Amino acid sequence: MSKTIHDIPESDRPREKLLRKGAKALSDQELLAVLLGKGTPGMDVMTLASKLARLIDEKGLDVKAEDLSQFAGVGDAKATLILAAIEFARRRIKPEGAKIVTPADLLPHVRHFADRKQEHFLCASINGANEILNIRVVSIGLIDRSPVHPREVFADALSDRASAVIVAHNHPSGGVEPSQSDINITAELKAAGEVVGIELLDHIIFNRTGYFSFLEDGKL
């Protein structure tokens, strides 16, 4: 269960932690808590930040004000503040349009998921010039596996008019070696991509310090 703001010592609360350690030391949930400032009646700021982080993971760059406003207490002011922060960062980092030449090129855009306590399965839509169109969370699973179906992976890629995809997921439990389940889903996704005309370029497994690429290892 996520901690509430009252469970955290005052010196370790998001704003104070940012001032002491810098923004890089904060989790996504903590960064959103700083933007929100406070919670809503009946919902602590950390709980609200956790719910919003999950929504933004799922929606990717397509998140809209009405998506954020579905949570009680998130009105136009908070929704527009979050969207403005996302757009401000996007214009500088620009994941969409970033060129993917090697598997490692995707890692800066997904590495922040390495700290998640559950496995997050991600899909990056890629155009014909090997540029990122969008990155979305396809599914969120348990500590050691994330259930995923090819239909979920390729649905958004089709709407993006992508020519290829790269999938990736974090391994919260430790190493980056693929499990038999990882090998099986990679084969399923490759076969499904051939049917719909969207190539699976790679499947990357990553943690905070390393990664495994099915392409680089000759398993794709």
- pLDDT tens by residue, 131-157: 999 899 999 886 555 578 899 999 999
Question: b/e string for 106-136 if b means 16 or more Cβ within 10 A?
Answer: bbebbbebbebeebbbbbbbbeeeeebbbbb
Domain assignment of residue 98, yes or no: no
Residues 149, 155: Cα–Cα separation, whole Å = 10
Whether the per-residue pLDDT at 32 is higher than 60: the answer is: yes
Domain assignment of residue 220, yes or no: no
Per-residue confidence band for 122, with pLDDT thresholds at 50, 70 and 90 = very high
Domain assignment of residue 67, yes or no: yes
Out of 93, 123, 149, pick the residue that ends a domain.
Answer: 93
* Pair (197, 107) in one structural domain: yes
Residues 163, 7: Cα–Cα separation, whole Å = 47
Mean pLDDT of the 96-111 span: 84
* Pair (49, 110) in one structural domain: no
Out of 71, 93, 115, pick the residue that ends a domain.
Answer: 93
Domain assignment of residue 136, yes or no: yes
* Pair (176, 204) in one structural domain: yes
**Residue 155 lies in domain:** 103-213
Is 113 or 1 the better-scoring residue by pLDDT?
A: 113
Residue 167's pLDDT is 97
Residues 144, 170: Cα–Cα separation, whole Å = 9
pTM: 0.66
Domain assignment of residue 49, yes or no: yes
Tally of CA atoms within 13 A in the half-sphere of 53 that contains its CB: 22
Mean pLDDT of the chain: 87
* Pair (83, 124) in one structural domain: no
Whether the per-residue pLDDT at 124 is higher than 80: the answer is: yes
Instruction: For the beta carbon of residue 138, count every other beta carbon within 10 angstroms.
Output: 22
- Asked whether the beta carbons of 82 and 40 are under 8 A apart, the reply is no
Whether the per-residue pLDDT at 2 is higher than 60: the answer is: no
CATH of the domain at 185: 3.40.140.10
Whether the per-residue pLDDT at 172 is higher than 50: the answer is: yes
Chain centroid to CA 188: 22
Burial tier of 220 (Cβ tally within 10 Å: 0-12, 13-18, 19+): middle
Q: How many domains does the chain have?
A: 2
Whether the per-residue pLDDT at 194 is higher than 90: the answer is: yes
